[in-house]
Amino acid sequence: MRLRNKDMIGLHHSTVEEINLILNTAEAMKGIINRQIKKVPTLRGRTMVTIFYEPSTRTRTSFELAAKYLSADTVGIAAATSSVSKGETLKDTARNIEAMGADVVVLRHPMAGAAALLADTLKASVINAGDGAHEHPSQALLDLYTAREKKGRLEGLKVAIVGDIMHSRVARSGIWGYTKMGATVRLAGPATLIPKDVEKMGATVCANVEQALAGADVVNVLRIQTERQQQGLFPSLREYSRMFCINRERLALAAPDALLMHPGPMNRGIEISPEVADGLQSAITEQVTNGVAVRMALLYLLIGGGAR
Ligand code: CP
């Protein structure tokens, strides 16, 4: 089996079979990153270019490491130091990158739809590394991978997603991914940060965080995206923390063996307390490791031996 499209733009249109294929391929890739010599020739002669119009630590670095572990050549472009700062458009930037021989372009952009626009423009594969508040599929895939690895299944899991749902591409991709794989998703956050139509995606909006957490198998805490907030969506960070911060008392409402996840970067003491972020139930560091494996799988399936 192969992925149907040359691109990975989001999980909205991915099938259960495709998600399983990516997760199973990532399992094989994790075997490579656990070796002392983390290098296989799978993507020798292939080139990945990352274009990031927004900051990133985890996504960008893990795509670069994933490509390197598979022996691909990699080049990274940051918008601030490229000709974007002279006014070059996204399409022109990408066409020039493709003309130099890129096989896959990994794009992070503040506008929803930017990755889909590039995918329509380029013959090269495009991977969406986050487009505005739309989707961040590789993050959701690594979350699914981590939950499946730790819980042994996704079907039937109760997943709570807590925080700023409205601005979160991680939440949107997560809702599509978890619900497709048979998990139930409960959402909690300030009413002003819950989009009106989110239940149409298959999630349930809870009246409060305690309701979302009750008996949950997986607790996904979202970052408060202060850079995307318009004024007045919640009273203050202090108030937010008082009502929604996942701390020891709140985590105790979830299942005793509940898994705690956060996509990073964390605002410690605001949406998550240090005691649980660094506690025994936290899978946050493992999420980051699994992110490399999942991104290796995506590169292999899109531009390697597993490509269509
Ligand atoms: N989770 C995530 O996308 O992190 P970065 O912004 O550091 O890539």
Work out the average pLDDT over 158-163.
98
Q: Is the pLDDT of residue 156 over 70?
A: yes
Please report the atom of ligand 1 found closest to the CA of residue 60.
8
Dihedral of alpha carbons 148, 152, 155, 158, sign: negative
Q: Is the pLDDT of residue 82 over 70?
A: yes
Q: Of 230 and 200, which is predicted with more confidence? A: 200
Contacts of 162 (CB under 8 A, 6+ apart): 187, 188, 189, 209, 212, 213, 219, 220, 221, 222, 244, 246, 271
Q: Is the pLDDT of residue 231 over 70?
A: no
pLDDT tens for each residue of 86-133: 889 999 998 999 999 999 999 999 999 999 999 999 999 999 999 999
Q: Is the pLDDT of residue 60 over 90?
A: yes
Q: Which residues line ligand 1 (CB under 6 A)?
A: 56-60, 130, 139, 263-265
Give the pLDDT confidence score for residue 230 in this predicted structure: 63
Strand partners for 77: 51
Q: Assess contact for 125 and 6: CB atoms under 8 A.
A: yes
Kindly report the protein residue whose alpha carbon is nearest to atom 3 of ligand 1. 59
pLDDT tens for each residue of 272-307: 999 999 999 999 999 999 999 999 999 999 999 877
205 backbone dihedrals φ, ψ, rounded to 5°: -90, 125
Please report the atom of ligand 1 found closest to the CA of residue 108.
8
Give the pLDDT confidence score for residue 1 in this predicted structure: 84
Give Cα separations from 176 to 13, 37, 98, 111, 264 (angstroms): 9, 36, 30, 20, 20
Query: How much distance in Å is there from the Cα of 273 to the middle of ligand 1?
Result: 19
Nearest to 262 by CA among 195, 175, 162: 162
Give the pLDDT confidence score for residue 235 in this predicted structure: 75
pLDDT tens for each residue of 8-59: 999 999 999 999 999 999 999 999 999 999 999 999 999 999 999 999 999 9
Q: Assess contact for 180 and 210: CB atoms under 8 A.
A: no
Query: How much distance in Å is there from the Cα of 296 to the middle of ligand 1?
Result: 17
Q: Is the pLDDT of residue 228 over 80?
A: no
Please report the atom of ligand 1 found closest to the CA of residue 263.
1
